[in-house]
């Protein structure tokens, strides 16, 4: 039973040491509420992607506990778990030999939906990500722009009605205008469908604009955790101030234009 008051995701003191001894993640604890977008930010190599991979058991934690919808994921079948949790990666990750329709249908097919249910869901998802079915359903990924491919990536990840979407730098391969449009559209989609999301990003401006809460990581640990306004008002260290410096500079430059 889904309890709306319970966090969708509850990560408790999770650690990951890779074979060879790299301590990629050290005692990370996080919660993600229903409908919330949590950004994991921080410089390259700080462990963001490893946290994401432990949530759907692409990597198994070396210590700690992860609860998804109240259930310890260590007891879940990893394949079934991955079908339940949506995954959007950098540069879309679509199967090049499958059409848009076939890409979006993958998870519903694996979940055993009927042909009619799958057909209806493909129509619904392409409509939601604003790709008219007549024009786009039978194209291959190579016949789409980068922004359109990323839209299909979202449609595919959401087709199985996941409660949680994991996203690894989903907007980073896009040009700034397409990125801005898709970031806004993503939040509308989230408000409409109500899923929760964890987004890895190295772009602090993106985290500030999109996220409800931001967890900043350094060297495998969370060094600050708060809302975008809390981080801006009270960065906990020089490291966090440093990450905020680029968006701050951009905001100042735009303000000085008097626009």
Structure tokens at 108: 């519903």
User: Any contact of residue 162 with ligand ATP (CB under 6 A)?
Assistant: no
Strands of the chain, DSSP E: 9-17, 23-32, 37-41, 63-68, 71-72, 86-88, 164-168, 196-201, 213-218, 221-226
Identify the residue among 7, 8, 9, 50 touching ligand ATP (CB under 6 A). Answer: 50
Identify the residue among 8, 11, 49, 56 touching ligand ATP (CB under 6 A). Answer: 49
Closest CB to ligand ATP: residue number: 49
Are the beta carbons of 124 and 74 closer than 8 angstroms?
A: no
User: Any contact of residue 47 with ligand ATP (CB under 6 A)?
Assistant: yes
Nearest to 104 by CA among 119, 85, 89, 83: 119
Shortest reach from residue 22's CB to ligand ATP, in Å:
4
Shortest reach from residue 50's CB to ligand ATP, in Å:
3
Q: How far apart are CA 148 and CA 196, in angstroms?
A: 23
Q: 90 or 183: whose CB is closer to ligand ATP?
A: 90
User: Any contact of residue 26 with ligand ATP (CB under 6 A)?
Assistant: no
Identify the residue among 3, 13, 18, 143 touching ligand ATP (CB under 6 A). Answer: 18
User: Any contact of residue 22 with ligand ATP (CB under 6 A)?
Assistant: yes
Binding mask 194-223 for ligand ATP (x = CB under 6 A): --------x---------------------
DSSP state of 104: H
Collapsing DSSP to helix, strand or coil, 17 comes out as strand
**In the chain, what is the greatest distance between 2 CA atoms, to the nearest angstrom?**
57
Identify the residue among 44, 192, 256, 257 touching ligand ATP (CB under 6 A). Answer: 44
How would you label 121-144 residue by residue, b for 16+ Cβ within 10 Å and e otherwise?
bbeebbebbebeeeebbeeebeeb
Q: 53 or 149: whose CB is closer to ligand ATP?
A: 53
Query: Contact positions toward ligand ATP, by CB under 6 A?
Result: 18, 20, 22, 24, 42, 44-50, 202
């Amino acid at each position: 039973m889904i309890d709306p008051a319970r966090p969708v995701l509850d990560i408790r003191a999770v650690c990951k040491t890779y074979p060879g001894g790299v301590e990629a993640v050290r005692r990370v604890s996080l919660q993600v509420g229903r409908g919330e977008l949590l950004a994991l930010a921080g410089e390259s190599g700080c462990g963001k992607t490893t946290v994401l991979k432990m949530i759907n058991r692409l990597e198994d934690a070396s210590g700690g506990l992860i609860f998804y919808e109240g259930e310890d994921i260590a007891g879940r079948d990893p394949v079934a778990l991955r079908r339940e949790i949506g995954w959007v990666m950098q540069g879309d990750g679509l199967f090049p030999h499958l059409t848009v329709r076939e890409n979006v249908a993958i998870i519903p097919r694996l979940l055993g939906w009927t042909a009619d249910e799958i057909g209806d869901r493909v129509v619904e998802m392409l409509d939601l990500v604003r790709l008219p079915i007549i024009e786009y359903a039978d194209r291959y990924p190579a016949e789409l722009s980068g922004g359109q491919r990323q839209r299909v990536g979202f449609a595919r990840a959401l087709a199985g009605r996941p409660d949680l979407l994991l996203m690894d730098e989903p907007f980073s391969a896009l040009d700034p205008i397409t990125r801005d449009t898709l970031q806004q559209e993503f939040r509308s989609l989230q408000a409409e469908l109500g899923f929760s999301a964890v987004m890895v990003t190295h772009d602090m401006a993106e985290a500030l604009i999109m996220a409800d809460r931001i967890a900043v990581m350094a060297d495998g640990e969370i060094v600050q955790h708060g809302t975008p306004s809390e981080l801006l008002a009270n960065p906990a260290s020089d490291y966090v101030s440093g990450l905020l410096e680029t968006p701050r500079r951009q905001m100042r430059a735009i303000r000085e234009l008097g626009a």
